[in-house]
Amino acid sequence: MSDLKAKFEAAVANSKKLTERPDNATLLKIYALYKQASTGDNTEKKPGFGDMVGRAKWDAWNGFKGTSANDAMQQYIDLIESLS
């Protein structure tokens, strides 16, 4: 396992132990970076207008389209460290 992957997994664990709940915009960024790092580009169908949360998550993840998994992992690690 690469050093970056180990740091990413540690950051994922740390994200569940944050002392304060981040604001919604930050939570969306955390979600989107995690999905981009672990799954890659968003290829899912965009949720309908009735699913506001689903649409927000889809839009956030789609905003990182083209970002490599390694870049997304590093951005995720940096973001979680800045919140800890």
For the segment 30-40, the average pLDDT, to the nearest whole number, is: 97
pTM value?
0.92
- Considering Cα of 63, then 49, then 39, then 81, what sign does the dihedral take? positive
Class of domain 3-83 (CATH, top level)? mainly alpha
pLDDT band at 84 (very low <50, low <70, confident <90, very high): confident
20: left (phi over 0), alpha (psi -120 to 50) or beta: beta
Sign of CA dihedral 75, 25, 13, 54: negative
pLDDT at 1 over 90: no
The predicted pLDDT at position 31 comes to 97
CB atoms inside a 10 Å sphere around CB 45: 7
Residue 2 predicted with pLDDT over 90: no
